[in-house]
Amino acid sequence: MTDELPALMRKISRTTFFFLSLGCLGWVIYPAWKPVFGGYLIGAIGSLLGTWHLAWKTARIAEVAATGRRSRSGFGFLSRASIGLLAAIISVRMLEFNLPATVAGLFTAPLATLVLGLMSNRRRTSGHSSEERGEKN
């Protein structure tokens, strides 16, 4: 269990970096769409930062729970929401990029997490159906 989170984070980071590179290529190929691709890139970076923050908080809470102490902190929703809001403000107000593209970028890492999680869950349960019920051969 302890080695699953870093492996998942590496996959999420690679997937997000792949989409970031596609956004950079799109910006180079279609320079007229600079506000769209720029907004997406800023949103994807904010999304990745929020996902890294969530993974850090999850590992920290698991470590505290393993020692038997009680933690008063949660998963840091307010911090992650602030990261997303900061990415949107920088993208729209300072750099004058497209807001819908920024919001789409903010969904990149969570969607990658969802897809990769579903794929790993599907691989884990691809055994024989009798194994799930505990039937004897």
List, for residues 55-87, the tens digit of each pLDDT value: 898 888 888 888 888 777 778 889 889 999 999
DSSP 95: S
Q: Which of 44, 84, 46, 59 is nearest to 9 (CA)?
A: 59
**More confident position, 121 or 5:** 5
List, for residues 99-123, the tens digit of each pLDDT value: 999 999 999 999 998 988 888 777 6
| pLDDT value, residue 61 | 85
List the beta strands (DSSP E) in 40-131. Answer: none
Per-domain residue ranges for the chain?
Answer: 4-119
Question: Residue 7 — pLDDT band, cuts 50, 70, 90?
Answer: confident
**More confident position, 111 or 127:** 111
| pLDDT value, residue 16 | 93
Q: Which of 55, 47, 22, 19 is nearest to 103 (CA)?
A: 47
